[in-house]
Each structure stands twice: as C-alpha cells, then as structure tokens.
Amino acid sequence: MSETETVQGPGIQPLEGEPVARVIVAGATGLTGALAARLLWRHPRLELVAATSRSDAGRRLDELYPRHGVPVTLSELRLDGAPEADAALVALPHGAAAPLVAELRARGVRVVDLSADFRLRDLETYERWYAPHPAAELLETAVYGLTELNRERLRDADLVANPGCYPTAALLALAPLAEAGLCGDVVVDAKSGVSGAGRGAVDFLEIAENFKPYKVDGHRHSPELAQELRELGAAGAVTFVPHLLPIDQGLLASCYVTLAQETGADELRALYEARYAGEPFVELVPAPPGVRDVRDSNVARVHVALDEASGRVLAFCAIDNLWKGASGQALQNLNAMLGLPEGEGLR
C-alpha cells in the first residue's frame, strides 16, 4: 500500500508543498468512496496514499469512474504493511466498516466513517435498526460529523461519524429552530436521487418517469434524525418519509414545523441569517432551492418561510447527496479535524 504501488499513471498528485496528512480511502469503488478519492486526489494539502477495494484491487480508479479522472490503482486493504497513514475515510457498508475502523483506531489513524456504524450513540437503538455492533466500545468516542453543528468537537476528534444524507439536509433546515427552542412537531418529507441507493441498486425501468415514497414503515435515518433533533433541543414528534426521484444526484428535505412559540416571518429569517452567517457551505436563499442548484458541490441551500394559513414553518434544504450528503462533508470534517480551512479541496 505504498504510494509507488498505488499511485501510477499519467500524473502525480498536484500537492502544494509537504502534505498536512497522508490519507487512505477504504472502499473506493462505491459511489461515495470514489468521490472521496477524487476530492482527496485534487486536495492541495492532503496526500491520497491508498484507495482500497476488495473487489477491484489492481484496476485503475479512472477506468471505473472516468469522470473523476483519478489515475490511481486500487489496492487490497492491508493494515499490516507500510502505509504510514495519518487519516482514513472509510466508505464501507455498515457492519463492515466498524471492525476496520477499530483496527485503524488501534494504529492511531484518525477516521471519518461514512457508514452508519457510529452515528447512533445508543447501542440498543443501533442494534434494533441495524445488527449487532462489531465495535460498540468506540461508540462513545465518535463525534457526529455534521460540521456546522459540531465544529468545535471535530478539531480533537479521532473518530467522526459522517451523517446520513437525509439527516444532513433535514438538520440543516431545522437547526436554527431547534437551537432556539422553537421546534415543535416536525414532518420531514424528503426526496433523493438514485445515487443515494448506490450503484446497481435501481433498475432504470423501475424509476424512469416514476416517483414514489419508500420505507414508509421506518427508514434507518429516522432514529438518527430524531437523536440529533433531541440533542439540539427539539422535543416534538418527528415524522420522516423518504421518496425516490428519477434523477441521479440531489436531495431535498421539505420540513414542516409546528412552532413551540409564536414567531414572525421576519424573526424567522433573522434567526436563520444569524445562525448561518459566515458558514462556508450553507447558503440561505430567498426562494425555495432546486436540487440542481447544488449539484456537484458541497453547498447546502436553505430556505425558510412561514405558512400564514397554518402558522407552520416551512424549511427546505437542498444538497447533493453524494457531496454534502456524504463524501464532501467527510472531507469538510477531515479539514476541520486537521485544522485546515473547511473549504480546502472542496471548491
């Protein structure tokens, strides 16, 4: 897993001077792992030392993902070797991620885990929604990596649980309300493009010209969203329903909130403006966002309005599920952990 083995081809990585850290991407052939590798490959301050894959070791990443243009040969993941990595982005399925994370942590490697394995702080909840936890002892050390909410704690974190795509969008839409104690009952009607399900997961004929809800009896992002809303101070009932859009990338969360106390439209806007002032990746917009506005970017576009008829707050957040909803946020978190500007390598 040395650089000479894994990094080949037309060019070497365009670094500016000595890298701040040497980074592994584990599971680089899934959609999120491949994007993480691309972002690291172009990152001016971080060195991509290995991109691993069980199924495709030996193949070039740019053969699998021509658009990403990463001329790196995929390698088997071997921890008992050289790699001298400082950090890792782990993009394996839940269940498979935790044991690797544990090994990496044991060797002192700092980890951003893109799976669900360390998102739920309550073991019982995890095991009810997923499976027996392979590394439960690490749960309490993990920081929930919604960067905008936990920035302070990321700096010292050794293990960051990268949030799910749906909770990312919903929490960014709701955080200002929740933090201000205004968030009562909530309905989150969320819609995602097909890439949220991963490669090979959806037959073209099943979703082309179609649109439908799914997992209405309980999606795994539901307890994650509830946990974080509680953490922010929201106490109301939360309903979350995901829908599948006939597009590849893009996610919109439409949130309907009963206010815990009466608040005017101007106050609401002021609250959101104050909360997100200076945020590099949250844009407060005056009209409801479309998912295409944020495609292939780490930006979250948020719009808030008051529904006069019902008194409810309408809060919308559009993200690219692969970027801010997965790999982009993972890199934003890694930047924060390493003391780099959060936007480094993400523009």
Active centre residues (catalytic)? 165
> Counting contacts by CB under 8 A, is residue 194 touching a second copy?
yes
* Minimum gap (Å) between residue 192 Cβ and a second copy: 10
Instruction: Please report which helix (H) or strand (E) contains residue 169, including its range.
Output: helix 165-179
> Counting contacts by CB under 8 A, is residue 67 touching a second copy?
yes
Q: Which residue matches tokens 């969360």?
A: 253
> Counting contacts by CB under 8 A, is residue 125 touching a second copy?
no
**Closer residue to a second copy, CB minimum distance, 87 or 202:** 202
> Counting contacts by CB under 8 A, is residue 70 touching a second copy?
no
For 36, counting Cβ atoms within 10 Å of its Cβ (0-12 exposed, 13-18 middle, 19+ buried), the class is buried
Query: Interface mask (CB under 8 A) for a second copy, residues 224-243, using x and -?
Result: --x----------xxx-x-x
* Minimum gap (Å) between residue 76 Cβ and a second copy: 25
Q: Name which of residues 28 to 47 contact a second copy (CB under 8 A).
A: 31
Contacts of 104 (CB under 8 A, 6+ apart): 79, 88, 90, 111
Q: Which of 6, 29, 52, 195 binds a second copy (CB under 8 A)?
A: 195
For 201, counting Cβ atoms within 10 Å of its Cβ (0-12 exposed, 13-18 middle, 19+ buried), the class is exposed
Nearest Cα to 250, choosing from 200, 299, 199, 187?
299
**Closer residue to a second copy, CB minimum distance, 93 or 218:** 218
Q: Which of 254, 298, 327, 333 binds a second copy (CB under 8 A)?
A: 254
Instruction: Please report which helix (H) or strand (E) contains residue 7, including its range.
Output: none
Q: Which residue matches tokens 């991109």?
A: 51
Q: In what order do the strands lie in the sheet with 21-26?
A: 46-52, 21-26, 87-90, 110-113, 159-161, 143-144
Q: Which of 141, 152, 211, 267 binds a second copy (CB under 8 A)?
A: 211
Q: Where does this chain bind a second copy (CB under 8 A)?
A: 31, 66-67, 69, 185, 187, 189, 191, 194-195, 199-214, 216-218, 222, 226, 237-239, 241, 243, 245-250, 252, 254, 256, 258, 288-297, 301, 303, 305, 307-312, 314, 316, 318
